[in-house]
Amino acid sequence: MYDASVPVFVHFLRSLSVILKKAEVHCTAKKIDPSVILSARLFPDMFPLTRQVQIASDAAKGAGARLTGMAVPSWADEERSFEELQARIARTIAFLSDLKAEQFDGAETREISLKAGGRELNFKGFAYLETWAKPNFYFHVTTAYAILRHNGIELGKPDFLAGGQ
């Protein structure tokens, strides 16, 4: 369960960091107010870029904590700049990197309960990771990528898949 979660989340958080850096460089080069990109969304009823990054972070740290039986760290969602989003991603990677493989022993059958959308969800650890945590994480990382691409940031599939390499 460790191998199916922590390295995967860290890899794509690093990708998210890279694409945000490219967005910041783009804003500087094109003299675009960063708040325009940070508040961009794909559709009016969707969350803006900043919230997409926050939720991706929450999904990753939440999965790591829940699968190890720890309390999920609670962080205020106050990021309003590329620098602050990068710091949140770095903090998420640091949290995940502190987790040890042995903390995940038995995680596949651990009872996981969480509230989402006003309802209580219950899973066994494996089902939680594969049908909720990772898909939710990927959704928000992908949506962040799509917002940036839609707004003219020169990105490609390698930026998404490379994990910051």
Domains belonging to the chain, first-starting first, are 2-161 (1.20.120.450)
- Residue 11 sits at the vertex; the CA angle it makes with 97 and 60, to the nearest 5 degrees, is 60
For 113, the 3-state DSSP assignment is: strand
Q: What CA–CA distance (Å, rounded) separates 18 from 59?
A: 19
Confidence (pTM) = 0.96
Q: What CA–CA distance (Å, rounded) separates 98 from 55?
A: 20
Beta carbons of 100 and 21 less than 8 angstroms apart: no
Question: In 89-114, which positions are buried (b, 16+ CB within 10 angstroms) versus exposed (e)?
Answer: beebbebbeebeeebbeebbebebee
- 47-96 pLDDT tens trace: 999 999 999 999 999 999 999 999 999 999 999 999 999 999 999 999 99
